[in-house]
Structure 1
Amino acid sequence: MLLLNRTVSPNSLRVFEVAARQLNFTAAARELRSTQSAVSQHIRTLEEQLGLPLFERVYRGVRLTDAGQALFASVREGFSTMERTLERLQQQHRHPRVNILTDFSFAAYWLMPRLPLFRRLHPQIDVRIMTNQGVLDWKDKEVDVAIVFCDEQTLANVPRLLPEVVFPVCSPAFLQEHGPFDDLAQLADAPLLTLTADQGQSWMDWPGYFQQRAGINHLHPSELTFNNYTLLLQAVIAGQGIGMGWRGLVDGLLESGILVALDTQPLHSRRGYGLIDIQPDDNSEAKQALQQWILTCAIQSTSMTPHRLAEGNPASTS
């Protein structure tokens, strides 16, 4: 409230931001294409207006006071927000852009193979893909749409893209060397590759697979764990063991013969990937076009005939 009757020049704040970042008035002057004396004058004027010292003069430079550090954090955040807003406005003027947030595996194995079709249909729309392997947090991010692995409760309120359908997968060479896997006991004796859920995700894991398949507890197999599904699949392809395959993500690898599926009775759950509109008040044509295209692709992919599975059916416990 005390600053309402005082005028703080935006230019002085800009000079302060550069000087605080450089911690050297001469370097700040070079960046601003000004002079060291002009920078010093701006800082003195700002300190007088605020009634607070912002810098301590030290040998060959300056150091921020506590007040200076607090102001620097706020000014830097403010300028950053303005720059992002200006960039977004300029980008929208040139081409509308839609930002998608999802995890590495969905982006790599589902979205990216299909995205060229969307770009052919809508060449005027720019799509930016943002990925994260942990819990997807879109706070403080420029996100329009998120594609998230969801529990049953969340999927009751958002469109479901891919239901969770899982089955063991391995490389053909691994199957030839270690198979066939005719029952769950043989499967449990094989090296199993596990995707961790350190961030609280609720996807199917090996204990859940054994429990739902035969009502038995985990058979304590040897496991190698990963926190990245893309790396896990690379290990499966390399013949290091058996991984859990999700329909919709491993389809291309099955079709090409790079992987084979080991279960003729895939497990279904009520979980899956959902499409979340992060900016529901934004009804731009670009975002609506992308969402509708994603939903159409999801319907087409889930209605496809399941892939032929390899010989060997661990659906039996005998």
Structure 2
Amino acid sequence: MFEAAARHLSFTAAARELRSTQSAVSQQIRTLEENLGLPLFERIYRGVQLTEAGQALFVGVQEGFATIDRTIDRLQHRHRHPHVNILTDFSFAAYWLMPRLPRFREQHPHIDVRIVTNQGVLDWRTQEVDIAILFCDERTLASGVPQLFQEEVLPVCSPGFLQQHGPLENLETLSEAPLLTLTAEQGQSWLDWPSYFEQLAGTGYLGSSELTFNNYTLLIQAAIAGQGVGMGWRGLIDDMLDSGMLVGLQDLRLCTPRGYGLIDARPDSPGEAKRAFQEWVLACAEGMRVE
């Protein structure tokens, strides 16, 4: 009753809105003032006006009602629009997911997609997510996690860099070039330069990289800018190879059993949105293999 009386500055108008009586509203306000020990209204000719305390309370009540309205709207929106929460790393989100996501939204305009990104080792068990798309080792993939695409890496650089420093036809000439390195400080299982050289040549790379990054997006930008040779993962850098922004050294490519996997983070919580997104991601990955 207080909010209505304060908004109308009239006990009579408040009673009319609330389908009550003027005396009942007046009594409720008087009881509230007695409980607070403060006058909230000043009775004036043909109405009331708020005291300083009444004005402060009115502002607080309005803010509270506004918060309640926003919360109700958000809950109703969530009910009306099924959603799916996706956990993945920066690289996959930027280079694989985001270019394709408009197609999913065209097919499923009623589904809200929420993407949570991070870099490093991501534990979906501690996140409020429905699906995790993560780089997985052999053991995780062998447990039944669908593999979207296998780890296939090849050195990549800008056309200008290759013209200036090439040809880079073998591991010896590659090892002499400035290499751009992605750190694996958190124990990530993807390839790095030492393991790349070890698997292809049986010997570790002992040179020093000129630039080291903890963010693959920045590394790729450095490669495009002609600052060195980066390690390119097929599936992530395909568009840049197709456009000619980067050149891939195909003769020096390397494949491993690892790769990106599609993890159902909440298998006990099925839903239309999650199922639709899982099917769409798997279809996209299958399309890549067909191409």
TM-score (norm 2): 0.74
Computing the radius of gyration over CA atoms, which structure comes out larger, 1 or 2?
2
Do residues 204 (structure 1) and 191 (structure 2) align?
yes
Do residues 112 (structure 1) and 98 (structure 2) align?
yes
Q: What's the CA shift for 1:31? A: 6.8
> 2:93 and 2:201 mapped to 1: Cα distance?
33
Do residues 227 (structure 1) and 255 (structure 2) align?
no
> 1:223 and 1:152 mapped to 2: Cα distance?
31
1:49 is matched with none
The superposition leaves residues 109-168 of structure 1 with CA deviations (integer Å, 9 ceiling, x where unpaired) of 000111111111111111111111122234554311110111110111211112100000
Contact 1:195 1:228 in 2 (8 A): yes
> 1:267 and 1:208 mapped to 2: Cα distance?
11
2:257 is matched with 270
Secondary structure, aligned partner of 1:230: helix
Q: 1:213 to 1:29 in 2, by over 3 A?
A: farther
Secondary structure, aligned partner of 2:116: strand
The superposition leaves residues 5-52 of structure 1 with CA deviations (integer Å, 9 ceiling, x where unpaired) of xxxxxxxxxxxxxxxxxxxxxxx9687339xxxxxxxxxxxxxxxxxx
Alignment of 1:118-197 (within 5 A): 118-139=104-125, 141-157=127-143, 158-197=145-184
Percent identical pairs in the alignment equals 65
| Paired letter, 1:103 | D
> 1:151 and 1:198 mapped to 2: Cα distance?
16
Structure 2: 5+ residue stretches without partners:
1-55, 63-70
Q: What's the CA shift for 1:264? A: 2.1
Secondary structure, aligned partner of 2:100: helix
Q: What's the CA shift for 1:226? A: 0.5
Contact 1:143 1:278 in 2 (8 A): yes
The superposition leaves residues 224-253 of structure 1 with CA deviations (integer Å, 9 ceiling, x where unpaired) of 210000010000011110000000000000
Secondary structure, aligned partner of 1:295: helix
Q: 1:140 to 1:183 in 2, by over 3 A?
A: closer
Contact 1:188 1:221 in 2 (8 A): no
| Paired letter, 2:283 | T
Secondary structure, aligned partner of 2:152: strand
> 1:244 and 1:86 mapped to 2: Cα distance?
48
Q: Which residue among 51, 56, 60 is the counterpart of 1:32?
A: 60
Report how many residues are paired: 233
| Paired letter, 1:33 | V
Secondary structure, aligned partner of 1:258: coil
Secondary structure, aligned partner of 2:217: helix
The structure richer in helix per residue is: 2
Q: 1:296 to 1:33 in 2, by over 3 A?
A: same
> 2:162 and 2:272 mapped to 1: Cα distance?
48
> 2:149 and 2:136 mapped to 1: Cα distance?
10
Q: What's the CA shift for 1:92? A: 3.1
| Paired letter, 1:217 | G
2:236 is matched with 249
TM-score (norm 1): 0.68
> 1:178 and 1:167 mapped to 2: Cα distance?
17
> 1:140 and 1:87 mapped to 2: Cα distance?
28
Q: 1:121 to 1:32 in 2, by over 3 A?
A: same
Q: 1:132 to 1:222 in 2, by over 3 A?
A: closer
| Paired letter, 2:235 | G
